[in-house]
A and B are shown apart, each in its own frame.
Chain A
């Protein structure tokens, strides 16, 4: 997505990364619950330079009807990037990458949502990536959890997500676009802190078994930071000043 700059220093001798962060520091994260008038629940997240909007509808009737399940509700997720969200214009039709990400986010959210309370219905989660800068799937999953909670859908926990990775032989938290392109490994993690369950996990890059375990550990710790911000976003809307 971005150009490669061979001269860029990903991690300097003082442990400072290309965007000035420390190795265990996330980018700036701003989460807002609500915002959309028509959706049953919504959320907006800025995660570094990522800007993502999520709307939730349901539980509602399932169309087409044959998709409905008499035992449980179903969750449907569409992850979509706007044509203007990346450097070169992106074809607006769903790519294979977007279809895969939609599927992994759906499967990351399913353990959290009590769909069995709403048989024959569907909960639709629409994720729109307005601007992308590495780590969109984690930011999207984080915002989608908040939007589901905002819609008042019963949940076991919220899924918080962030990527860990390996850059200049060092395990780092929250991989940005440059680090993803030029780094050694990228491991997106989605985690339910109250239930201690990892519900999204992917990896590309080379890790020794020890680095692999450290990477999971760093990611899980990062998710706990994100989780606090998710809770704060909901508290701000429902108990604080920022309600709408």
Chain B
């Protein structure tokens, strides 16, 4: 994906030409995300899961919940850890081996958006203070690539967490002991929604597809919560934004994010 071919350069010229007329290659409005399809409980073996299609980008998130040791300075809180991986079958240029910097960034940005929104109430995930807590692991895999992995991964994790159930453990003889048949919904509060925007020339577009992604000069991912607050942000790419553009992107992310939140809520409702 990082490699820029001659075809990419030709596509970029075409994409830019269309943008000058206010149009996008796939006919969307500039602030219109692709169709989002969410399939809840795609992996019944997980404590919660979701498969998300964002246009032709496809991701799966499985949530696993298990007792773990707390971090030394936060013994009164459970763990929340989110990872993301690009599977080699998702695109011809993806190679196996240690994760590339752009994949590490992807995982960290998705993790940060959910973590900073305080979606998962980790204060309720304590088995025995300072000794044992509940760990929530949201592992995301990218199955098919067509741009904008940040949002596709974020929606998958959010949808999976919203529909996760957690087993119950009691503290017995200095060990966590599973209480059979006492599963409750994972304690969650707000619903964070990330909105990624690309900058091509001086145009800002929401949810860039694969061709647009390859043509972008810069990008920005902004996560907002259910109250319309902005909770996390990451700028990327080899160009900058003016202060006005940054403000404009903030407004777009809250507005578009509110619509996408309804889609995630509908998927959650449909699963119940």
Q: Does A64 contact B (CB under 8 A)?
A: no
Chain A residues whose CB sits within 8 angstroms of the CB of B240 once the complex forms: 111, 192, 195, 197-199
Whether B232 is near chain A, meaning CB under 8 Å from some CB there, is: yes
Q: Which residues on B sit within 8 Å (CB–CB) of A111?
A: 238-240
A side interface size, CB within 8 A = 34
Which of A198, A208, A213 has the largest count of B CB atoms less than 10 A from its CB?
Answer: A198
Cβ–Cβ contact B235 & A202, under 8 A: yes
Q: Which residues of A contact B (CB under 8 A)?
A: 3-4, 96-97, 99-100, 102-104, 107, 110-111, 187, 192, 195-209, 212-213, 216-217, 220
Tell me the minimal C-beta distance from B70 to chain A in angstroms. 14
User: A198-B242, A209-B251, A213-B247 known; A203 and B220 CB under 8 Å?
Assistant: no
Inter-chain contact B237/A107, CB cutoff 8 Å: yes
Q: Are A204 and B247 in contact (CB under 8 A)?
A: no
Q: Which residue of B lies closest to A96 (CB)?
A: B104
Chain B residue numbers with a CB within 8 Å of A204 are 112, 115-116, 231-232
Residue interface bits B217-246, CB-to-A below 8 A is 1, else 0: 010101001001111111111111111001
B108 within 8 A of A: yes
B118-148 vs A, CB cutoff 8 Å, 1 = contact: the mask equals 1000000000000000000000000000000
B residues in contact with A196, CB < 8 Å: 242-243
Known: A196-B242, A203-B232. 14 other contacts (CB 8 A): A96-B104, A107-B218, A107-B235, A107-B236, A187-B233, A192-B240, A198-B246, A199-B240, A204-B231, A206-B118, A206-B231, A209-B228, A209-B230, A213-B247
Roughly how many angstroms separate A220 CA and B241 CA in the complex, as a whole number? 12
Bound together, the chains give a CA A24 to CA B55 distance in angstroms of: 45
